[in-house]
Amino acid sequence: MANAKQHTDEHSGDGQSSDRYVFGGLLGLSIAIIVQILDKELVDRLRWAVYCFAVAIPILTSSFVLVVMKQPDTHYKLPGLRHFLGLIGVATAIVGLWFIFFSFGTNIGIVFTASFVLAIGAFILSRPS
């Protein structure tokens, strides 16, 4: 019975579960990338990636904590600010990834950009209305 309730809560459509995955996944990925490039020479694009992750990691952390700690019957004081900061955290992490791929070479960066645009397009076209 508890398992059925947990399944219902996870798929209730409020976006909390997906926010948890997005914020937590990008946070973990951002930290892993920073750990991997600690001993690398920071050339231009790699340096910009580090700046992006320096912005993204604290914002994704706070966004993740807010989502994890939110109780079903509570409401945020400034929900627009939470969504805006979450968007900034996600966007800067993705731009950081963009700089990482471009640091490998322009062609690899272009492939990443094209596949990202394709994925966003597919998401927009296939999401439920």
Give a yes or no: residue 107 inside a domain: yes
Q: Structural domain tally of the chain? A: 1
In this structure, is residue 58 part of a structural domain? yes
Look up residue 15 and give its DSSP letter: S
Range of the structural domain that residue 70 is part of: 13-126
Does residue 24 sit within a domain?
yes
On whether residue 109 sits in a domain, the answer given is yes
75 or 9: which leads in pLDDT:
75
pTM given for the model: 0.78
HSE-CB for 53 with a 13 A CA cutoff: 24
Residue 56 lies in a domain: yes
What is the tens place of the pLDDT at every residue in 33-76?
Answer: 999 988 888 888 999 999 999 999 999 999 899 888 876 666 77
The verdict on residue 6 lying in a domain is no
Does a structural domain hold residue 2? no
> Where residue 4 falls among pLDDT bands split at 50, 70, 90?
very low
Q: Which amino acid is at 106?
A: T
- Residue 7 domain-assigned? no
Look at residue 8 and tell me whether its pLDDT is greater than 90. no
